[in-house]
Amino acid sequence: MEYRDIAGLAQKIKENVGKVIIGKEKQLDLILSAVIAGGHVLLEDVPGTGKTVMARSLARSMRCGFSRVQFTPDLLPADVTGMSVFQAAKGEFRFVPGPVFTNILLADEINRATPRTQSALLECMEEKQVTEGGVTHPLEKPFLVLATQNPVETQGTFPLPEAQLDRFLIRLSMGYPTQEEALQMMNRFISQDPLSQLEPVAEREEIVAAQRLFSSCQVSQAVMQYISALCEETRDEDRVQLGVSPRGMLALLRVSQAYAAIQGRNYVIPDDVKALAVPVMAHRVILRGLYGKSGENEAFIQEILKKVPAPTEETV
């Protein structure tokens, strides 16, 4: 695969997923950027907005393995990562892989599990491996955690700690369809399930190749200074308890490269950074007295985008 093939690959996947999902081009661009950048996605939305269908359509389009885990308070870490089982006949333990050993893992309602189980995903997400009984088991590439949580329902939930929120490259919402999109959806699903007829248009190896190539996308010093200034501004405000970390800054840089690549460019422009600032930065910020209020965090990042001047064409 060559660099220019990344845009064609992304377009094929988007068109194929579009046979099932209607009107979510922006969200799909963000998810594909996360896939190519090797990151993970947190979908924060109410039930029934197409999160599972999106994940299944994406996995099927890329001929990737798919697993879904319903997170509940009684879910144990071993239920996610796997466990060692003693085989009496051989007198030894054998590791039985859990659902995390896949390419796309849908962690449904992740905030319903206890912190102990939530933390079981940390090593998987960051190191792309599972360590059990002193033995490390690498996860197959590509590996994407697509986690969901309901922003409205809080009873019986365990909010994700900042350390785990920071592991998610982007956070986004599917949102409700427009009236026109709703009519298209009903016409499409009235007599058949298009997901069951969806055929792959890409191979896992192509995604892995794109993950190796996207980092060659050029980023000028002016754009890097712009990214740094945006992150620095989140730490200077008096109303901020926790600003964007250096890891968050590098995440914005990395996903900007992937986003530019799927747009068919080998260089990042300030508009790429602007398009990604809210989904990448908002969940990494804690405003005083407003913990867990994602709407206020997003508005805060929008304020910073207006406050910090973007590089001009001459400086880029």
Domain ranges of the chain: 1-213, 217-311
Q: Are 173 and 43 in contact (CB under 8 A)?
A: yes
Q: What is the pLDDT of residues 157-207, one digit of tens each?
A: 788 877 778 889 999 988 888 888 889 888 888 888 888 888 999 999 999
pLDDT of 3 > 80? The answer is no
Asked, colleague to colleague, whether 1-213 and 217-311 share their fold, the answer is: no
**Residue of higher predicted confidence among 172 and 239:** 172
| Whether pTM exceeds 0.85 | yes
Q: What is the DSSP string of the chain?
A: --TTHHHHHHHHHHHHHTTTS-S-HHHHHHHHHHHHHT--EEEE--TTSSHHHHHHHHHHHTT--EEEEE--TT--HHHHHEEEEEETTTTEEEEEE-TTSSSEEEEETGGGS-HHHHHHHHHHHHHSEEEETTEEEEPPSS-EEEEEE-SS--TT--PPPHHHHTT-SEEE---PPPHHHHHHHHHHHSS--GGGG----S-HHHHHHHHHHGGGSB--HHHHHHHHHHHHHHHH-TTEEE---HHHHHHHHHHHHHHHHHTT-SB--HHHHHHHHHHHHGGG-EETT-TT-HHHHHHHHHHHHHHSPPPPTTT-
In CATH, the architecture of 217-311 is Orthogonal Bundle (1.10)
What CATH number labels 1-213? 3.40.50.300
Two tokens at 181? 């999109």
Q: What is the pLDDT of residues 255-280, one digit of tens each?
A: 999 999 999 898 999 999 999 999 99
Pairing of strands 129-132, 135-138: antiparallel
Residue 291 confidence (pLDDT) = 57
The whole-number average pLDDT for the span 226-244 is: 87
